[in-house]
């Protein structure tokens, strides 16, 4: 009898221990402190559709909704991915009532384009060649007297982790070369599959390539949206905004989960930073 | 109780399966060493270096501690639970199959003490297996691969979400913690196998049922269809043992899951005692 009583007692202690040490629910991200002035607000959004659609690039009918989100959140610069081309960019700039200037990247081996929109009228746009693909960079000053910033809109290969790695290496080389004279931000859809718990294999080359790519970026940049959660359907965090490691203040970091329209499979990621 | 324990220990050390489990683990370490060696050679030279400009997989990364960590994580999921199931599954059912259970139960000892002593011996077997495996990996790693710090990267092994590093001496301490946390996690399997050993008359049946239950929950837990069921599987809670390898050990979460595993173990053990006390032994 005493054995059973002791076992019952230990069982109760274990249950109480499990309740006592239960991790607290995720707390809300810290709100910005009153003394910090956030001088930059960035947004990245892959506005393309999910794989099941005939045309997975951005759809013209969704552009008013995209413009509405941009106007509502008023970012200083926006990185967009999967536009069909310059015509869509022009339509979008029109819907933004001339508040933004923008440019699309050159066409690479794929059928879709990256684009950057910035508020600064003096912004300059630079196409960036990254192997067989292209990214789009914009140099601008969000406020008068602030340091020049560069925002890169990037989109890494969706189907091949080795190609994502090569792309990331070239992109970081380009960014590092400019980091001496400007604060560089890289935003876009990198398609990194880093949730190993979702993999059925214990160790795969694809997982390792994505790990190498992400770790390489983190050597020089900070992942500003790390705590914001998934950015695409199927619990994937594949859209990122990377900023200089020296950044001291980050304010609002949010995935705008009510923003997607039609069959979009990504949500926009919004990040506020201060210098 | 002490005499019972002594007798059970004698039985354990006389069993051929006890030594077989250690021999298989040595074989696994040799296989891992071959795989690790050839993989490291491929990734630090030749085509891999030509294809990519930057990599963390340098000669400094591939060291004895990394080897031991990979070997331990790979084997813990599938190899060690099999041996623990075999050891625990044969405890009562093995006696029943050999025809000695009836005789043991006629002696002036309580059935609860018998179950408890058999469980303690199984727990010792699990602890010895894990400690031996960790020690062997570290020794083989030191001799054949060399020492260094333990570098961790997001993705593979799913331990960190940003690159991190554990210094050599601290990392060795973490392997010590892993021997404790890993044994505690394996006790859930041991308790389940002991329950099966009481329910089924054959040790093979008890072992197979335990492994089947473990593998089913482990695999189902990895299929997205059952994502919402995952938190209710003991296989999910057992994963807590790996947290000791995170650069900053999440102590609160570790204690939480350790208590959950403890509740599973003690709950199953209590059920085993109750069922065994009511069981009519006819073999």
Domain annotation for chain A: domains and CATH numbers: 37-274 (3.60.10.10)
Interior angle at CA B12, CA B216 and CA B183, nearest 5: 45
**What's the confidence (pLDDT) of residue A38?**
56
User: pLDDT per residue over B68-114, tens digit each?
Assistant: 999 999 999 889 999 999 999 999 999 888 888 888 888 888 899 99
Residue scoring higher pLDDT (B161 or B26): B26
Looking at residues B49-65, what average pLDDT do you find?
79
pLDDT over 90 at B166, yes or no:
yes
Compute mean pLDDT per 10 residues along chain A, 275 residues long, and list them.
88 94 67 59 92 81 93 94 91 91 80 88 87 86 83 91 91 90 92 70 80 92 90 90 85 90 92 85
Neighbours of B107 (CB within 10 A): 8
Answer yes or no: do B269 and A7 touch at CB < 8 A: yes
Burial of B74 (0-12, 13-18, 19+ CB in 10 A): middle
A76, A120, A131, A85: which is closest to A105 by C-alpha?
Answer: A85
**What's the confidence (pLDDT) of residue A220?**
92
Q: Does A169 touch chain B (CB under 8 A)?
A: yes
Burial of B131 (0-12, 13-18, 19+ CB in 10 A): middle
**What's the confidence (pLDDT) of residue B46?**
63
pTM (two decimals): 0.83
Answer yes or no: do B155 and A207 touch at CB < 8 A: yes
Q: What percent of chain B has pLDDT over 70?
A: 98
**What's the confidence (pLDDT) of residue B55?**
79
Neighbours of A10 (CB within 10 A): 17
**What's the confidence (pLDDT) of residue A202?**
67
**What's the confidence (pLDDT) of residue A54?**
77
Average pLDDT, chain B: 90
Find where tokens 């696994």 sit.
B28
A18: which residues sit within 8 A by CB, 6+ positions away?
Answer: B256, B257, B259, B260, B263
Q: Does A200 touch chain B (CB under 8 A)?
A: yes
B244, B242, B220, B241: which is closest to B232 by C-alpha?
Answer: B220
Residues from chain B contacting residue A160 (CB–CB below 8 Å): none
B221, B246, B226, B77: which is closest to B152 by C-alpha?
Answer: B246
pLDDT over 60 at B276, yes or no:
yes
Answer yes or no: do B266 and A223 touch at CB < 8 A: no
Task: Compare CB distances from A10 to B250, B257, B266 and report the shortest one's residue.
Answer: B266
* Contact call for residues B148 and B60 (beta carbons, < 8 A): yes
* Contact call for residues A26 and A56 (beta carbons, < 8 A): no
Rounded to whole angstroms, how far apart are CA atoms A8 and B262? 12
Q: What is the ipTM of this complex?
A: 0.83
Distance from CA of A174 to the nearest CA of B (A): 14
**What's the confidence (pLDDT) of residue B95?**
87
Residue scoring higher pLDDT (A199 or B172): B172
A241 sits in which H/E element: strand A239-244
Find where tokens 């006592």 sit.
A20
Tokens of A264: 């979009």
Answer yes or no: do A3 and B116 touch at CB < 8 A: yes
Tokens of B227: 């994502």
Neighbours of B159 (CB within 10 A): 19
User: pLDDT per residue over B215-273, tens digit each?
Assistant: 999 988 877 788 788 889 999 999 999 999 999 999 999 999 999 999 999 999 999 99
* Contact call for residues B86 and B197 (beta carbons, < 8 A): no
**What's the confidence (pLDDT) of residue B280?**
82
**What's the confidence (pLDDT) of residue A37?**
60
* Nearest chain A alpha carbon to B164: A215
Neighbours of B148 (CB within 10 A): 18
**What's the confidence (pLDDT) of residue B256?**
96
* Contact call for residues A105 and A89 (beta carbons, < 8 A): no
A219: which residues sit within 8 A by CB, 6+ positions away?
Answer: B163
């Amino acid at each position: 009898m005493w054995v059973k009583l002791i076992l019952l007692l230990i069982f109760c202690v274990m249950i109480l221990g499990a309740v006592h040490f239960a991790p607290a629910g995720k707390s809300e991200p810290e709100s910005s402190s009153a003394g910090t002035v956030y001088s930059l607000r960035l947004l990245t959004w892959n506005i393309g559709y999910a794989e099941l659609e005939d045309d997975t690039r951005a759809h013209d009918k969704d552009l008013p909704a995209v413009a509405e989100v941009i106007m509502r959140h008023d970012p200083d610069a926006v990185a967009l991915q999967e536009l069909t081309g310059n015509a869509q960019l022009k339509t979008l700039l029109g819907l933004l009532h001339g508040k933004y200037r923008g440019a699309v990247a050159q066409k690479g081996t794929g059928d879709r384009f990256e684009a950057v929109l910035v508020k600064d009228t003096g912004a300059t746009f630079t196409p960036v060649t990254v192997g067989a693909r292209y990214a789009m960079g914009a140099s601008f000053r969000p406020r008068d007297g602030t340091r020049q910033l560069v925002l890169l809109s990037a989109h890494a290969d969706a189907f091949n982790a080795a190609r994502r790695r090569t792309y990331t290496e070239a992109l970081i080389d380009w960014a590092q070369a400019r980091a001496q004279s400007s604060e560089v931000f890289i935003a876009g859809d990198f398609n990194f599959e880093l949730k190993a718990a979702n993999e059925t294999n214990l160790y795969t080359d694809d997982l390792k390539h994505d790990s190498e790519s992400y770790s390489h970026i983190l050597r020089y940049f900070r992942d500003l949206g790390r705590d914001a959660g998934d950015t695409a359907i199927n619990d994937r965090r594949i859209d990122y905004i990377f900023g200089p490691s020296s950044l001291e203040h980050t304010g609002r970091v949010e995935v705008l989960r009510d923003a997607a329209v039609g069959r979009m499979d990504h949500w926009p990621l919004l990040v506020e930073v201060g210098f | 109780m002490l005499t019972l324990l002594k007798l059970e220990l004698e039985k354990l050390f006389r069993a051929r399966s006890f030594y077989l489990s250690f021999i298989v683990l040595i074989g696994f370490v040799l296989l891992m060493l071959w795989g690790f060696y050839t993989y490291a050679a491929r990734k630090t030279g030749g085509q891999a270096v030509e294809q990519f400009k930057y990599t963390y997989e340098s000669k400094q990364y591939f060291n004895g501690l990394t080897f031991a960590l990979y070997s331990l994580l790979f084997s813990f999921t599938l190899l060690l639970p099999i041996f623990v199931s075999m050891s625990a599954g044969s405890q009562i059912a093995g006696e029943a199959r050999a025809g000695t259970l009836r005789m043991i139960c006629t002696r002036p000892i309580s059935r609860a003490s018998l179950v408890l002593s058999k469980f303690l011996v199984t727990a010792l077997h699990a602890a010895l297996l894990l400690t031996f495996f960790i020690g062997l990996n570290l020794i083989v790693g030191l001799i054949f691969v060399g020492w260094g710090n333990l570098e961790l990267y997001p993705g593979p092994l799913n331990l960190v979400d940003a690159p991190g590093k554990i210094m050599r001496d601290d990392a060795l301490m973490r392997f010590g913690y892993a021997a404790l946390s890993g044994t505690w996690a394996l006790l859930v399997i041991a308790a389940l196998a002991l329950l099966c050993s009481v329910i089924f008359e054959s040790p093979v049946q008890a072992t197979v049922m335990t492994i089947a239950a473990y593998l089913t929950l482990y695999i189902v837990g990895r299929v997205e269809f059952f994502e919402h069921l995952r938190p209710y599987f003991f296989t999910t809670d057992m994963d807590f043992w790996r947290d000791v390898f995170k650069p900053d050990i999440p102590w609160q979460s570790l204690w939480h899951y350790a208590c959950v595993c403890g509740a599973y173990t003690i709950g199953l053990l209590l059920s085993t005692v109750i069922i065994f006390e009511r069981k009519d032994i006819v073999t």
